[in-house]
Amino acid sequence: MKQIIIIFLLIFINSAAFAHSQLTEILPKDNVTYNEVPPQIEMKFKSEVKLVKIDLIRVDIKEKIKLDSSFVKNNSNNYSIPMPKLDAGIYRFEWRALSTDGHIIKGKSDFEVK
């Protein structure tokens, strides 16, 4: 019985050590309305990731907005993406990253500019 518990603990500890990196903070925040356009998109991860895809879409008119992606495919815990000039509208920022354990993680942030 002790061997089973030891094996279980080793598996659990190894799984936790190689867990996917998590996004800990994002700006613009999801489901928030801003009176002014945030100056940049800020992303903070628990550990290093390689950001592989970013998209900014104006949802209310289905228009894709060009973002500076020169930093894409660099490993980092923090990303700061200059925000282009935006008009009033509803936007979605979508991202995809590769964590150090080789797994794809992704997410989105919907926000509105008044």
Kindly report the backbone phi and psi dihedral angles of residue 54, in degrees, each rounded to the nearest multiple of 5, phi listed first.
-135, 140
Whether the pLDDT of residue 4 is over 70: the answer is no
Whether the model pTM is above 0.85: no
Is 3.40.50.10490 the CATH classification of the domain at 20-113? no
Q: Quick one: which of 93, 89, 7, 8 has its CA closest to 43? A: 93
Residue 24 has pLDDT above 60, yes or no: yes
Q: What are 65-107's pLDDT values in tens digits?
A: 999 988 788 899 999 999 999 999 999 999 999 998 899 999 9
What does the pLDDT look like over 50-66, one tens digit per residue? 999 999 999 999 999 99
CA distances from 33 to 1, 37, 84 (A): 56, 10, 17
